[in-house]
Amino acid sequence: MLKEVRCNLCGEDNFKVVYKTYSGAIDKADVVKDYKITEHSAKTLTRVVRCKKCGLIYTNPRPHVRSLVSNYVNMVDNEYVEEERGRRISAAATIRSLKKLRKKGRLLDIGCAAGFLLDEARKDGWEVHGIELSKWAVDFAKKKFGISTIFNGVLKNAGYPDNYFDAVVMKDSIEHLTDPKGTLIEIRRILKSDGILCINTPDIDSLVSRILKARWWGIKQSHLYYFTRKTLKKMLEVSGFVAIKVKSSPRTFSVKYWLSRFKGYSGVLHKTFSFFTGRKIFKDSLLTVNLGDQVEFYARKARRLRYLEELEKMPYAAKKKNLKVVAVLPAYNAAKTLKRTVADIPKECIDEIILVDDASKDNTVQAARSLGLKVFSHTVNKGYGANQKTCYLKALEAGADIVVMVHPDYQYDPKVIPQMIKPIREGKADAVFGSRMMKGGALEGGMPAWKHNANVMLTAIENIIFRTFLTEYHSGFRAYSRGLLKNVKFLRNSDGFIFDTEIIAQILLHNFKIEEIPIRTRYFDEASTIGLLPSILYGLGILKTLFKYMLHTMTPFKFKQFS
Ligand SMILES: [Zn+2]
């Protein structure tokens, strides 16, 4: 019936008992059957423990997921909806705070119950969506408020697309989840890169909780986690969020409800509130009280990539079996090297090869056609960036899940394509760059020293501004996921070589993950090379992009290209 669990935050199985509200053996404890949101604490049987490693406080052992879920699915709670007025006031306060951080947009309320918050948000101009297990609550919201966008189930089954919501709200729900960390990681996926997450939950570190101990109303069998500001902040961090605002939040209920809550508590609290009992007139009045034991967090997605180790273990990662891989060849005067390049492309991992010819002066097009490639041509020479734009558009049109760019000038060795697409295939990265700078590959391959040094210097500057670490930014050997290409506005980028730097800025701003693999390059006479002057102009173009990136991230000045 009950099951022992490990710490959800750090994975340790080493804890200290904080409260135990029953005597005798753990397995003798009864599990609450008819769960209600308004369930009172008095009869709660539970053991609350604190992880010795990270400090997370959680219920251990706890009922099996199936019995928890069936409790919620079958829940009917009329007392909950009787307090509609007060609950709306609390909900409206949350919406007001949210609005200061995000004007409006698409909002998801996880554990939306009867839909009071959704109705308040809708009045405020939000497009509202909800997640709720209780069939009764979903019906209530639908019948009473006409809200039909509530998914009756758990978040991971709702199937929302990536970067879909402007705001996600979890009010009094994170403490009920079996896997809060997994849920936060899933929220990170569906939240837009500049979206806001709001979490409201009891604070076990509060004064009231410390005074009342196990009798505090926050202690319930249905609460599987008891956060402090510190542990919630940590859990947000490991799931890829940054807390931007934390406050304690008041609750509003009718006097009658407050009284019923304090029933059974002796001492000052009960006496204070029972003062109202004899006065019928107050019974239906609303009373807003801030006991400081309910905390409200506002967070945004972290731009740093260190949390991604966690993401790699993502349980909800939708994995498509047969991913279509398209190799794109941005070509200009590549007739001489094309055949050798195509011959080295491992055909077993590529579904289609597309060549875009940027008005070559030689017979690149004929050579490509004779090799059986799908060919598109620019009528005038537009530049390397413009060529990539056509490449990616054509690959997306062809239904590519992974697009790998191979230069047809034979400078890069296409034999490493399987290694390049592997991290994307496994859902570990959205972009993979072949790096000439890992393990000194470029110099071995014969890159001129001045070029090598300039590259190293620009890379250092880029690492500082982008606050990320890549060994090189200027590789022409790259693979991208479909999701990445669909989300970043690459069509707004330069038609020249700066395209490659601009797309990195866009990737980072959208929180996509870049992985690097070492590659070797060959420099030989037939290979396309850039002279000194164009190289300097290229360097200046990169600096301009970095400057725009700084303006975009540090000032109110925004570029559509990066949005
Ligand atoms: Zn722990």
Query: What is the 224 CA–ligand 1 centroid distance (Å)?
Result: 14
d(CA 540, CA 501): 12
Beta strands of 305-345 (E only): which ranges?
Answer: 325-331
d(CA 322, CA 104): 38
Q: Taking Cα atoms as reference points, which of 241, 316, 290 lies closest to residue 511?
A: 241
- Mark whether 343 and 226 lie in a shared domain: no
Residue 1 is which amino acid? M
Buried b (16+ CB within 10 A) or exposed e, 283-316: eeeebeeebebbbbbbbbbbbebebbebbeebee
- Mark whether 118 and 248 lie in a shared domain: yes
Q: What is the pLDDT of residue 30?
A: 58
Q: Taking Cα atoms as reference points, which of 429, 420, 179 lies closest to residue 316?
A: 179
SS (H, E, C) 110-159: ECCCCCHHHHHHHHCCCEEEEEECCHHHHHHHHHHHCCCCEEECCHHHHC
Residue 465 is which amino acid? I
Query: What is the 13 CA–ligand 1 centroid distance (Å)?
Result: 8
Query: What is the 50 CA–ligand 1 centroid distance (Å)?
Result: 8
Query: What is the 194 CA–ligand 1 centroid distance (Å)?
Result: 29
Largest separation between any pair of C-alpha atoms in the chain: 98
Q: Taking Cα atoms as reference points, which of 289, 107, 113, 126 lies closest to residue 198?
A: 107
Query: What is the 157 CA–ligand 1 centroid distance (Å)?
Result: 27
- Mark whether 84 and 171 lie in a shared domain: yes
Query: What is the 519 CA–ligand 1 centroid distance (Å)?
Result: 40
Query: What is the 61 CA–ligand 1 centroid distance (Å)?
Result: 15
Q: Which two tokens stand for residue 150?
A: 């509530």
Query: What is the 54 CA–ligand 1 centroid distance (Å)?
Result: 4
The number of folded domains in the chain is 3
The conformation of residue 511, written as its DSSP 8-state character, comes to T
Q: How far apart are the first and last CA of the chain?
A: 50
The torsion defined by the Cα of 241, 123, 147 and 201, in degrees rounded to 10, comes to 40
Query: What is the 370 CA–ligand 1 centroid distance (Å)?
Result: 62
Specify whether the CB–CB gap between 298 and 101 falls below 8 A. yes
- Mark whether 296 and 405 lie in a shared domain: no
- Mark whether 477 and 535 lie in a shared domain: yes
Query: What is the 237 CA–ligand 1 centroid distance (Å)?
Result: 14
For residue 387, what is the domain's CATH number? Answer: 3.90.550.10
d(CA 541, CA 533): 12
Q: Final residue of a domain: which of 266, 290, 311?
A: 311
d(CA 424, CA 323): 10
Q: Final residue of a domain: which of 39, 69, 99?
A: 69
DSSP of 46-83, one letter per residue? -EEEEETTT--EEESSEE-HHHHHHHHHT---HHHHHT
Query: What is the 311 CA–ligand 1 centroid distance (Å)?
Result: 18
Query: What is the 58 CA–ligand 1 centroid distance (Å)?
Result: 9
Element (H, E) at 481: strand 478-481
Query: What is the 8 CA–ligand 1 centroid distance (Å)?
Result: 7
d(CA 562, CA 194): 12
Buried b (16+ CB within 10 A) or exposed e, 389-409: bbbbbbbeeeebbbbbbbbbb
Query: What is the 59 CA–ligand 1 centroid distance (Å)?
Result: 12
Q: Taking Cα atoms as reference points, which of 243, 305, 300, 241 lies closest to residue 512?
A: 305
Specify whether the CB–CB gap between 461 and 538 falls below 8 A. no
Q: Which two tokens stand for residue 429?
A: 């990265």
Please identify which residue in the block is written with the tokens 């991290």: 423
Specify whether the CB–CB gap between 276 and 47 falls below 8 A. no
Element (H, E) at 454: helix 449-466
- Mark whether 59 and 86 lie in a shared domain: no
Query: What is the 14 CA–ligand 1 centroid distance (Å)?
Result: 8
Range of the structural domain that residue 34 is part of: 2-69
Q: Which two tokens stand for residue 141?
A: 């919201």
Query: What is the 15 CA–ligand 1 centroid distance (Å)?
Result: 8
Q: What is the pLDDT of residue 467?
A: 82
* Backbone phi, psi, residue 265, to 5°: -95, 125
Cβ count within 10 A of residue 362: 15
Query: What is the 287 CA–ligand 1 centroid distance (Å)?
Result: 37
Residue 514 is which amino acid? I
- Mark whether 22 and 126 lie in a shared domain: no
- Displacement of CA 486 from its chain's centroid (Å): 17
Query: What is the 231 CA–ligand 1 centroid distance (Å)?
Result: 9
- Mark whether 51 and 81 lie in a shared domain: no
- Mark whether 103 and 230 lie in a shared domain: yes
Query: What is the 254 CA–ligand 1 centroid distance (Å)?
Result: 38
- Mark whether 362 and 250 lie in a shared domain: no
Specify whether the CB–CB gap between 300 and 244 falls below 8 A. yes
Q: What is the pLDDT of residue 44?
A: 67
Specify whether the CB–CB gap between 482 and 421 falls below 8 A. no
Q: Final residue of a domain: which of 289, 311, 333?
A: 311
Q: What is the pLDDT of residue 91?
A: 94
- Mark whether 85 and 198 lie in a shared domain: yes
Q: What is the pLDDT of residue 199?
A: 97
Query: What is the 308 CA–ligand 1 centroid distance (Å)?
Result: 19
d(CA 489, CA 506): 8
Q: What is the pLDDT of residue 76?
A: 86
Q: Taking Cα atoms as reference points, which of 238, 495, 506 lies closest to residue 388?
A: 495
Query: What is the 307 CA–ligand 1 centroid distance (Å)?
Result: 16
Give the Å distances, CA to CA, from 223 to 63, 174, 196, 326.
11, 9, 24, 49
- Mark whether 380 and 324 lie in a shared domain: yes
Query: What is the 507 CA–ligand 1 centroid distance (Å)?
Result: 33
DSSP of 207-263, one letter per residue? HHHHHHGGGSTT--TT--EEB-HHHHHHHHHHTTEEEEEEEE--EEEEHHHHHHHHT
Query: What is the 109 CA–ligand 1 centroid distance (Å)?
Result: 27
* Backbone phi, psi, residue 495, to 5°: -85, -5
Residue 273 is which amino acid? F
Digitized pLDDT (tens) for each residue of the chain, 563 residues in all: 678 899 999 988 999 999 888 777 766 555 666 667 776 654 667 889 999 999 999 998 888 888 888 888 888 888 888 889 889 999 999 999 999 898 789 999 999 999 999 999 999 999 999 999 999 999 999 999 999 999 999 998 998 988 899 999 999 999 999 999 999 999 999 998 889 999 999 999 998 888 888 888 888 888 999 999 999 999 999 898 999 999 988 888 877 777 777 666 656 666 666 665 555 566 667 777 788 889 999 999 886 554 444 444 443 333 445 789 999 999 999 998 899 899 989 988 899 999 999 999 999 999 999 999 999 999 999 999 999 999 999 999 999 999 999 998 888 888 889 999 998 988 888 999 988 776 555 555 566 777 777 777 888 888 888 888 888 787 889 999 998 999 899 999 999 989 999 999 999 888 888 888 888 766 555 445 567 787 788 888 989 999 999 898 888 888 888 88
Query: What is the 220 CA–ligand 1 centroid distance (Å)?
Result: 21
Query: What is the 72 CA–ligand 1 centroid distance (Å)?
Result: 27
Q: Is the dihedral of CA 318, 320, 325, 330 positive or negative?
A: negative
SS3 443: helix
Any residues with CB less than 8 A from the CB of 446 and at least 6 apart, and which?
521, 522, 523, 524
Q: Which two tokens stand for residue 290?
A: 């801030």
Query: What is the 7 CA–ligand 1 centroid distance (Å)?
Result: 5
For residue 252, what is the domain's CATH number? Answer: 3.40.50.150
The conformation of residue 550, written as its DSSP 8-state character, comes to H
